[in-house]
Amino acid sequence: MKIKTALIALFLFALPRAAFPVEKAEGKPCGSCAAKLAGSISLLEKAGVKAPETPPAPAAAAAGWEELGDGAWFSGAPAPGGTLFIGYAGYGADGAGARNWVSAVAAAKGWGIMVAVAGPDKLYYEDNEKLEANKRILNELIPRLAPGRIIIAAHSSGSFVSKEFMALLEKLGRKDLLHKISYYDLDGGPCGPCRKYADDPGNSGFSFSCVSASQPGGPAAPNIGSMKGCGKYYIGLEAEGAGCAGPWCLHGWLINLGASKLDAVRPKTREYYLSPSLSPCVSYFKEN
């Protein structure tokens, strides 16, 4: 028994204080920690002692956000007649990044109620994983909030998720909401239902825009061709001073004006959404 007690003490002493701590001299992950931990566990197993398991860290709560399920969150309080902003993030953007972007846009525009939807798990959204969240936004959240205006911005592959929401308006008999909606497709896949609604003069108040960007004397965002295909519904932004050297940088610039500071050629989606100093592009909005 004394041997087992000593081995447990040895194991606990060998455990790193944090998972793979940083070595002070070089600022690199501690390369020997994993080997030490494995060796300690091996000693315990040979002695017939089961190593204590480290409980998983609890998921960080999204302060001020109510989870809607399927990677969607809501923030704010019912504000009849107010503006609801719904932001659909692109493929590669996680929930924290989506909330960061949506919060920044809402703050810049003075909108107090908002919904953030994480990017789809599949590039072309073949799995419809956020269908239930879209239904909840439409059937539960919007009636609860009673907004006077609904602003939707969908970036990249997030446009496929937002297109599902727009199609649900007809499927679930809520086309009455169209007069409240302004929809912005940010360098993504054109929204067929949106164009159909916009072409119908009976949907007074509905606004549909396809948005992309080009840098004077430099590159253009990768999906600018399909966005220009929206014809009279196209909004082209001149990204003067964006500092981009590649099309995907401009793709990110539509979310974060500082995308080129992360990578002038192809910044990582997760990083430009998550940037703590995110400066959102809002010049395409027609609303004051």
**pLDDT tens for each residue of 26-48:** 333 333 333 433 343 343 334 44
User: What 8-state DSSP symbol labels residue 110?
Assistant: T
- Residue 78: per-residue pLDDT: 86
User: What CA–CA distance (Å, rounded) separates 103 from 113?
Assistant: 10
Quick check: 59 and 90 in contact, CB under 8 A? no
User: What CA–CA distance (Å, rounded) separates 170 from 178?
Assistant: 10
H or E segment and range at residue 214: strand 207-214
Specify the fold of 66-274.
Rossmann fold (3.40.50)
Backbone angles phi, psi at 27, to 5 degrees: 70, 30
- Residue 146: per-residue pLDDT: 95
CB-neighbour burial class of residue 271 (10 A; exposed 0-12, middle 13-18, buried 19+): middle
Backbone angles phi, psi at 144, to 5 degrees: -70, -35
Backbone angles phi, psi at 54, to 5 degrees: -80, 120
Q: How many CB atoms lie within 10 A of CB 261?
A: 13
User: What CA–CA distance (Å, rounded) separates 188 from 205?
Assistant: 23
Angle at 31 between CA 9 and CA 42, to 5 degrees: 40
List the chain residues with pLDDT less than 50: 1-61
User: What 8-state DSSP symbol labels residue 113?
Assistant: E
Angle at 87 between CA 79 and CA 256, to 5 degrees: 120
User: What 8-state DSSP symbol labels residue 31?
Assistant: T
User: What CA–CA distance (Å, rounded) separates 170 from 152?
Assistant: 17
Structure tokens at 120: 């789809």
Domain boundaries, the chain: 2-46, 66-274
User: What CA–CA distance (Å, rounded) separates 138 from 13?
Assistant: 54
Q: How many CB atoms lie within 10 A of CB 74?
A: 21
pTM here is 0.79
DSSP 103-172: HHHHHHHT--EEEEEPPPSSTT-TT-TTHHHHHHIIIIIHHHH--SEEEEEEETTHHHHHHHHHHHHHHT
Structure tokens at 201: 């003069």
- Residue 288: per-residue pLDDT: 80
User: What CA–CA distance (Å, rounded) separates 239 from 233?
Assistant: 19
